[in-house]
Structure 1
Amino acid sequence: MIYVSICDDDVIIARKIKKLIEYELSKKGIEFHCNIYISGRRFLEYNKEFKNELIILDIEMPDISGIKIAEYLKKEGRNKNIVFITSYDNLVFRSLECYPFAFIRKKNVETEIPKMIEQFIYRVSKKCSSFLLETPKTTMCIPIENIMYLTYWEHKIELITSTTEKYEFRGTMKECLNQLKEESFF
C-alpha cells in the first residue's frame, strides 16, 4: 500500500495532481490511499507517518511553506520521499536543502507526475518486500509474501500468487532470483 499526501493551497491543482496519481497507481494495480491538505498547518496537524509514503508539497503557501514542512519532516527522518511542486522555477535551489525526492513544475504536471510515479514505484519496490514486474504495457509491484511460485517455460515466466492470480512476462529466472534473493525466497 502506498500512502500519498498532497499539500497545496490551490485546491484545483491539488485535485488535478490527485487524479493523475490515482490514474497512474490504478493503472499499475497498486493499492493506495491519497489525502489532500489545503494548508501547511492542516498537513502538520493531520498527516501521519506511513511506511511507503509519498509527500507532495507546494513550496509557497500562505500559512506554512512547503520548505518549512520539509525541514520539519527532515528532523523527523521523513524527508526521503518528498516531492516539491511549484509554479516558480527559481525556488528549486532553496528546496534542495531538504533533499527532496523530486521537483515538479505545476505547468508540467501531466508529463512529470507519471515519470515521478515510475521512479517512486521503483524506489519503493527496492525498499519494501515487493517484486517489480515489468512488461511492455505495465509495471507492477507484487508483495513478495503473495508469491507462491514462479515457473519458466519457452522464455516466459509465470508468477503465481496466493490469490491465484497469474502474471506472465518475459525474462530469466536469474533476474527474478536477483530480486527475490534478499527475501530468502526459495
Structure 2
Amino acid sequence: MMTVRVLIVDDEQPAREELAYMLGEIQGAALIGEASTGMEAVKKAKELKPDLMFLDIHLPDLTGLQVAELLNEFDFAIQIVFLTAYDHFAIEAFKLRAFHYLLKPYDLEDLIEVFDTYLNMLKENQMKTEQTKNKLAIETENGITYLSPKEIYFIEKQGREVIIHTKIEKIKALFTLNELFEKLERFSFFRTHKSYLVNLEHIKELRTWFSGSYNLIMNDQYQSEVPVSRNYVKDLREKVEL
C-alpha cells in the first residue's frame, strides 16, 4: 500500500494530538509534521511537500482559507482537508479547490473516508494519464485520428485497405495489419486470421463454423462476425477463457 504523507495544521495542541493518534490507526498514513500557525504551515508545506494537509480554518495569524490561497499561488501539489466546526466554510473551501473538509468533532471513520477518497482519486488520475499516453495515432487520408486501444473492437484487411472498427464507426488506416499488430499486441489484441485482429475485451461469443473453424461475434452495435482460422482456435481459447 502506498504511503500518504500528512501535515497537520491546528493552533490547539490537544486537537493536533488527537488527529495524530487517529492517523496512526490508518494504514498508509504517515504524519511528517505539524504546524500551529498559518505562516508555519506555508513554510512546512514548502519544506516537507506533504500529500495531504489537514488545515484548521481558525489560526492565530492567517485563516486556513488564506493559507490555501497562498499554497495555490505557489502551485504546491498538496490536497487540503479543511477542519472546521461550521459547515458554511465548506463553500469557500471548495472555491479554493479544497480536496475535502471535516466538521468537528470528527472520528476515525471520517478520516478513513477521506483517505479512501484520496486513494481513489489517485487511481482515477493514473488511469486518465495512462489513457492519454496510450493513444494510437492512426494516419488516415484526412490526417491523424487518435484512438485509445480500448475503443477498437477489431481490425480487418479488405484487399489493400486496412479498416479499424470501433463501436460505432469504421476508420480507414494507412497502416499494414502487421504494423498495427506490433503496436497493439500488448493491449490484448489477437490475430484470429491472416486478415483480422480482434480486441479480446470485446468478444461476445465464439460460434462453430465449419471444418474446425469458428466465427467470433463482437460486442459492437452490429454484432460483427470475425473469422477464426482453425490454427488459431486453441491459442484464442487459452487467452480468453479462465
The answer on whether the counterparts of 1:52 and 1:124 sit within 8 Å (CA) in structure 2 is no
1 or 2 for the larger relative contact order (CA 8 Å, sep ≥6)?
Answer: 1
Q: How far did 1:18 drift? A: 1.6
C-alpha change, 1:58 and 1:102, in structure 2 (3 Å) is same
Name the stretch that deviates more: 55-64 or 87-96: 87-96
Give the letter aligned to residue 79 of structure 2.
N
In structure 1, the partner of 2:22 is 20
Normalised by the size of structure 2, how large is the TM-score? 0.46
The answer on whether the counterparts of 1:57 and 1:84 sit within 8 Å (CA) in structure 2 is yes
In structure 1, the partner of 2:33 is 35
- Is 1:121 aligned to 2:116, yes or no? no
Q: Which has the higher helix share?
A: 1
SS of 2:92 mapped into structure 1: helix
| Separation (CA, whole Å) in 2 of partners of 1:20 and 1:71 | 27
| Separation (CA, whole Å) in 2 of partners of 1:110 and 1:45 | 28
In structure 1, the partner of 2:10 is 8
List alignment gaps of at least 5 residues for structure 1: 130-173, 175-186
In structure 2, the partner of 1:77 is 75
Cα distance per residue 1:122-163 (max 9 Å; x no partner): 22345569xxxxxxxxxxxxxxxxxxxxxxxxxxxxxxxxxx
List alignment gaps of at least 5 residues for structure 2: 128-187, 189-242
| Separation (CA, whole Å) in 2 of partners of 1:8 and 1:51 | 18
In structure 1, the partner of 2:65 is 67
| Separation (CA, whole Å) in 1 of partners of 2:30 and 2:90 | 28
C-alpha change, 1:98 and 1:20, in structure 2 (3 Å) is same
SS of 1:35 mapped into structure 2: strand
Give the letter aligned to residue 104 of structure 2.
K
In structure 1, the partner of 2:105 is 107
C-alpha change, 1:79 and 1:60, in structure 2 (3 Å) is farther
In structure 2, the partner of 1:87 is 85
Normalised by the size of structure 1, how large is the TM-score? 0.59
Q: How far did 1:20 drift? A: 1.3
Give the percent of matched residue pairs that are identical in Structure 1 and Structure 2: 21
Q: How far did 1:64 drift? A: 1.2
SS of 2:22 mapped into structure 1: helix
The answer on whether the counterparts of 1:79 and 1:99 sit within 8 Å (CA) in structure 2 is no
C-alpha change, 1:126 and 1:40, in structure 2 (3 Å) is same
Question: RMSD of the alignment, in Å?
Answer: 2.7
SS of 1:89 mapped into structure 2: coil
Cα distance per residue 1:17-37 (max 9 Å; x no partner): 122122112xxxx37343111
| Separation (CA, whole Å) in 2 of partners of 1:82 and 1:62 | 19
Structure 1 segments, 4+ long, off by >4 Å, are 49-52, 125-129
